[in-house]
Amino acid sequence: MRALIAKEIRSFFSSVIGYLVIAVYLLINSAFLWVFPGNFNLLDGGYATLGDLFTISPWVFMFLIPALTMRMFADEKKAGTMELLLTKPVTDFQIVFSKFLAGLVLVLFSLLPTLLYYFTVYQLGASPGNVDSAASFGSYLGLLFLGGGFVSIALFASALTDNQIVAFLLGMFLCFFFYYGFDQIAGFDLFGSADLLILKLGINEHYVSMSRGVIDSRDALYFFSLMAIFIEASRLVIQSRKW
């Protein structure tokens, strides 16, 4: 399985698209946090906090993670290498999980350079170090959970089609719906007491809780369950090609 993970990561970094996706993520965040004037600008805000990074990042991930994963299954199908992969001495679950872990590693690579923002804010405080480090790193963990959820959703979208553009658009739509759609449905107040349950089904409710730096086992369980459901759904789609 390690060979499959390494293959996906090598494939990602062997093309300019891989570096471009990471660069775009960093460029968008840097522009809003340091360049563009407004509510997200750290220098204008006057507070030593990275809260705005964790507000912007989910919306950027909503576009970039489907771009990372759109080729993982769609390209294999179009190139005809999917059947070859299925003949290898690995299970369908190992194939899907390897691609998921590779996608999660790529998300981690995207996040690591943003630690420079943390060290910058750390030094820019009224007194150096006047930043809530525990909350910041708890929020990073929440963002990694969110990234994992988006990877599993976008990977499922890629498994459904052999067209990368369709996989990208479908993955982006599903990520948007799970992040924001349930909140909107619950906000219509159409289902009475069930509205709270609908709200809890959405990613945003759990991500906001974790982005405060508070790691609640219920939020972690939600993300693990979300990832498990979509990984299994991807496995079933891949397995159906044998029927």
Give a three-class secondary structure readout of 109-146. HHHHHHHHHHHHHHHHCCCCCCCCHHHHHHHHHHHHHH
pTM of this structure: 0.90
243 residues of the chain, pLDDT tens digit each: 777 778 778 877 777 777 888 888 889 988 888 778 777 777 666 665 777 888 899 999 999 999 888 888 887 777 777 767 767 777 888 889 999 999 999 899 889 988 888 888 777 766 665 666 777 888 889 899 999 999 999 999 999 998 999 999 999 999 999 999 988 888 777 777 787 888 888 998 899 888 776 778 899 999 999 999 999 999 999 888 655
Structure tokens at 105: 């590693």
The number of domains in the chain is 1
User: ∠116-118-124 over CA atoms, to 5°?
Assistant: 105
Q: Cβ contacts of residue 98 below 8 Å, gap of 6+? A: 1, 4, 5, 8, 90
Domain hosting 204: range is 2-242
In degrees and rounded to multiples of 5, residue 157 shows phi and psi of -60, -40
User: ∠61-142-25 over CA atoms, to 5°?
Assistant: 25
